[in-house]
Copies of this chain bind each other. A is one copy, B any other.
Amino acid sequence: MTQNETLVYQLLCDADRPLSAYNILDALRDKGIRAPLQVYRALAKLVERGAVHRIESVNGFVACQLHDCGGSEVSIFMLCNQCERANEFTDTSIDSRLQSLGNDRGFQAAHKVIEITGLCADCQTAQTTVQKH
């Protein structure tokens, strides 16, 4: 792993939510990262190798939470609109069903995106509490 990749990857591992490329740029300015391209290049490599995932719904990036996604199963993300936390899961049933849905139509899948946005359990109770006042 190169210098810049290490910096970006460490930052993402420490973060508790998806970061945008420019979030990363700002956070790493004093570590020698000065231009967007340095971040995007590192991200491209990390994503390619499965260490990091791009979250399409928020134009952000997270470190993989499942043993570097060695497995080939599709990742499912639950994204809280309030606390912004992202949780990664896999599900064999969804994966195989999606696979056959493509096969039925002769579609050769290269990449699959499954993202659910909404309110996580914590933020729901927090909101209920506020409403009680």
Q: Which A residues form the contact surface with B (CB < 8 A)? A: 56-57, 76, 78, 80-81, 87, 89, 91, 93-94, 97-98, 101-102, 105-121, 124
25 A-B pairs with C-beta separation under 8 A: A56-B115, A78-B107, A87-B105, A91-B97, A91-B101, A93-B93, A94-B98, A97-B97, A98-B114, A102-B116, A105-B120, A106-B121, A107-B119, A107-B120, A108-B118, A108-B124, A110-B117, A110-B118, A111-B116, A111-B118, A112-B115, A113-B113, A113-B116, A113-B117, A114-B114
Query: How many copies of this chain?
Result: 2
How far is B98's CA from A112's CA once the two chains are assembled, in angstroms?
15
CB distance from A90 to the nearest CB of B (A): 10
Q: Which residue of B lies closest to A115 (CB)?
A: B113
| Residue in B97, B108, B115, B118 whose CB lies within 8 Å of A107 | B118
Which residues of B sit under 8 angstroms from A112, Cβ to Cβ?
114-117
User: Quick check: A114 and B113 within 8 Å, CB to CB?
Assistant: yes
| Residue in B80, B101, B118, B119 whose CB lies within 8 Å of A89 | B101
How far is B113's CA from A98's CA once the two chains are assembled, in angstroms?
13
